Amino acid sequence: MTERRRPYPVTHEGETLFLADWSERLKISYHTLYGRLIRGYTDSEIILGKHNEADPLIILGAWKRPMSWWSRVFRVKPTLMRERLKRGLQHEFVVFGKPRSKPVKPVYLRVGDVAKTCGWWSLRTSQRATTIERRIKDGLCPVDAIFAVDPE
């Protein structure tokens, strides 16, 4: 038995497509879109969903979409996006992250004849690289920074 769908035209941002076509394009279930249609949502709400304060609109260029849409499409955790919004970042940085102004230069530590990065030492000593770097900044010599244990 084939499924028969009636053609429900929906116009969003000047483009008119049938509900089934929007469903394929947006990768949203046809039944979700149809449910919004019969509940009386406007055409934009059918496509975008109803706007609520927990899911703010993010505008990039001509694209105006809820945060959940950006999160789903670009696979960014919503909690990370909310945190970026709270910090007051521009919308493009909320979605894609802020580029580093300078590349991070690794810190090399020399112990005897071995000169390796803090990351290399951290893997071998079960400590975080940032902990080792902090100890170096606090004035410890490399051997003490690598092999010292912080009091808990």
**Cα separation of 110 and 101, whole Å?**
28
Question: pLDDT tens digit string along 68-89?
Answer: 888 888 888 989 998 988 888 8
Tokens of residue 52, six digits: 């609520």
Helices 129-137 and 118-125 sit at what angle, rounded to 10 degrees?
A: 120
What is the tens place of the pLDDT at every residue in 92-108?
A: 888 888 776 666 677 78
Instruction: Please report, for the chain, the start and end positions of each structural domain, with discontinuous segments joined by +.
Output: 7-50, 52-99, 108-147
Which residues of the chain fall short of a pLDDT of 70? Answer: 1-6, 51-53, 100-104, 149-152
